[in-house]
């Protein structure tokens, strides 16, 4: 129940338009930013496939426009009916509940006009968006980051070919293992675990993907990964360590799983089942990959990244792991008399994972309608963590520290 509330609060902004060079900053009408619909967009949507973002945060994705009712002189859309991929059901959308329409991943900058009761093109909305994107583009570039570009089918195919070759290379490098691969819509799952166990882990991954898409305001039908997410799941620790050393050139000693995130967008998870906790590790680490692929290459601070990942893992897998971690972390901070460089470090220590998820809880409890989503988006737009926190929640790091100190007071 608590997680459903969290998801409602988490609804992040939709994927912004990526190709800034193709955007045109439109002149503003002095009397009204809104103008008749542009011929190349809204009035020609009939039979086009669109995504529709609703004001409640939900996404109506991969819908074919089957009815487009235009107003007088093409001044507005008076009716909009869409049909899903299965073509078994058509839905007439309530226009005043539409936040945005996306065509080929590009927002059309629509607004509901109460006077004409129609959906119209809002030039002021577009101008403001393009100006904001240009500023973010500049800021990210200065930090050597960038927006992720939407991938074409051919681009996805190239990544898939690369991933499948990597899996083949792994199998050749570890010939003594009985590695087999299950490929799903979003994952290439390679493992030496019994086939009977694989489906359960894939269900967790699919649930994680749907949950995060809902939280981030994205369509769960769309593929955020580059090609697909590669999952290497081993039964034994030594096999996992061997894979990490020989295939990833990584010393993974002390970990049960790692998420490898490349600058080209590739995400590879590797881990081992061991005695317990693998499902949590699988979901937690793959969540890092999802966050990596969201909006831009900019990173979010370690405490927030780990906090979100623990929250999602707990929601998808269940159990009391998160509560145990939070209590243990509270006792650790109390005994240490503080948390040191917890908010600034690039990698928080394991004893403070519970503190990270506790902070996510505290912030969500203060969310009055979009602050948490704004925090993550501002970070992905290249703002400093404390600036993003100030803009979203009106809190400084000192004030966040006080909130946590009050929350753990009396923990024994």
What residues pair up with 187 in beta bridges, in sequence order?
Answer: 229
Residue 292's pLDDT is 97
Contact predicate 19/149, CB 8 Å: yes
Q: Could you tell me where in the chain the CATH 2.30.30.100 domains are found? A: 18-142
Low-confidence stretches of the chain (pLDDT beneath 50): 1-34, 39
Does the domain at 148-294 match CATH 3.40.30.160? Answer given as yes
Alpha-carbon gap, residue 149 to 296, rounded angstroms: 9
Would you list the DSSP string of 257-307?
Answer: EEEEE-TTS-EEEEEE--SS-HHHHHHHHHHHHHHHHSSBSPPPPHHHHHH
For the chain, give the mean pLDDT: 87
How does DSSP classify residue 17? Answer: P
The three state secondary structure string of 31-100 is CCCEECCCCCCHHHCCCCEEEEEECCCCEEEEEEEEEEEECHHHCCEEEEEEECCCCCCEEECCHHHEEE
Which residues have a Cβ under 8 Å from the Cβ of 309 and sit 6 or more positions away?
283, 284, 285, 287, 288, 291
Q: Could you tell me where in the chain the CATH 3.40.30.160 domains are found? A: 148-294
pLDDT digits (tens, 9 = 90+) for 359-410: 999 998 998 877 888 899 999 999 999 999 999 999 999 999 999 999 998 7
pLDDT digits (tens, 9 = 90+) for 220-236: 888 999 999 999 999 99
pTM of the model as a whole: 0.83
Q: Calculate the alpha carbon distances from 21 to 131, 137, 238, 239, 294 in Å.
A: 12, 10, 49, 47, 20
Q: Calculate the alpha carbon distances from 326 to 20, 158, 404, 411 in Å.
A: 42, 42, 11, 10
Residue 53's pLDDT is 87
Residue 145's pLDDT is 97
Residue 35's pLDDT is 52
Helix H or strand E encompassing 16 = none
pLDDT digits (tens, 9 = 90+) for 14-60: 333 333 233 333 333 333 444 555 545 788 888 998 989 888 877 88
Residue 135's pLDDT is 96
Residue 412's pLDDT is 67
Residue 190's pLDDT is 98
Residue 230's pLDDT is 98
Q: Which CATH architecture has domain 18-142?
A: Roll (2.30)
Residue 55's pLDDT is 86
């Amino acid at each position: 129940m608590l997680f459903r509330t969290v998801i409602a609060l988490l609804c992040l902004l939709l994927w912004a338009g990526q190709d800034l060079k193709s955007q045109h900053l439109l002149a503003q009408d002095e009397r009204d930013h809104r103008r008749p619909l542009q011929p190349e967009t809204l009035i020609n949507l009939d039979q086009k496939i669109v995504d529709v973002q609703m004001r409640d945060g939900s996404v109506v994705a991969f819908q074919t426009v089957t009815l487009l009712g235009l107003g007088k002189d093409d001044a507005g859309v008076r009716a909009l009916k869409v049909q899903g991929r299965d073509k078994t059901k058509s839905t007439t959308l309530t226009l005043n509940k539409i936040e945005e329409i996306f065509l080929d991943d590009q927002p059309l900058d629509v607004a509901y006009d109460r006077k004409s009761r129609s959906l119209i093109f809002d030039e002021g909305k577009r101008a403001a968006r393009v100006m904001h994107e240009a500023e973010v583009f500049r800021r990210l570039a200065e930090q050597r980051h960038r927006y992720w570009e939407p991938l074409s089918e051919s681009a996805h195919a190239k990544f898939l070919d690369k991933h499948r070759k990597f899996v083949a290379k792994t199998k050749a490098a570890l010939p003594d293992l009985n590695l087999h691969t299950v490929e799903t819509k979003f994952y290439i799952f390679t493992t030496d675990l019994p086939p009977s166990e694989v489906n359960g882990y894939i269900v967790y991954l699919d649930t994680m993907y749907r949950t995060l898409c809902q939280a981030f305001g994205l369509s769960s039908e769309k593929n955020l990964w580059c090609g697909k997410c590669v999952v290497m799941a081993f039964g034994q620790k030594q096999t996992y360590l061997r894979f990490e050393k020989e295939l990833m050139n990584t010393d993974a000693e002390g970990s049960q799983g790692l998420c490898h995130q490349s600058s080209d967008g590739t995400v590879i998870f590797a881990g081992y089942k061991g005695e317990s906790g693998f499902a949590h590790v699988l979901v937690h680490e793959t969540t890092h990959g999802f966050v990596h692929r969201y909006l831009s290459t900019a990173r979010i601070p370690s405490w927030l990244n780990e906090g979100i990942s623990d929250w999602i893992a707990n929601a998808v897998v269940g159990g009391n792991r998160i509560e145990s971690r939070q209590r243990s972390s509270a006792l650790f901070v109390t005994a240490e008399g503080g948390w040191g460089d917890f908010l600034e470090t690039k990698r928080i220590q394991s004893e403070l994972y519970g503190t990270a998820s506790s902070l996510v809880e505290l912030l969500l409890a203060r969310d009055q309608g979009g602050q948490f989503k704004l925090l993550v988006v501002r970070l992905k737009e290249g703002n400093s963590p404390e600036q993003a926190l100030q803009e979203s929640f009106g809190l400084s790091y000192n004030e966040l520290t006080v909130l946590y100190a009050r929350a753990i007071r009396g923990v024994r």
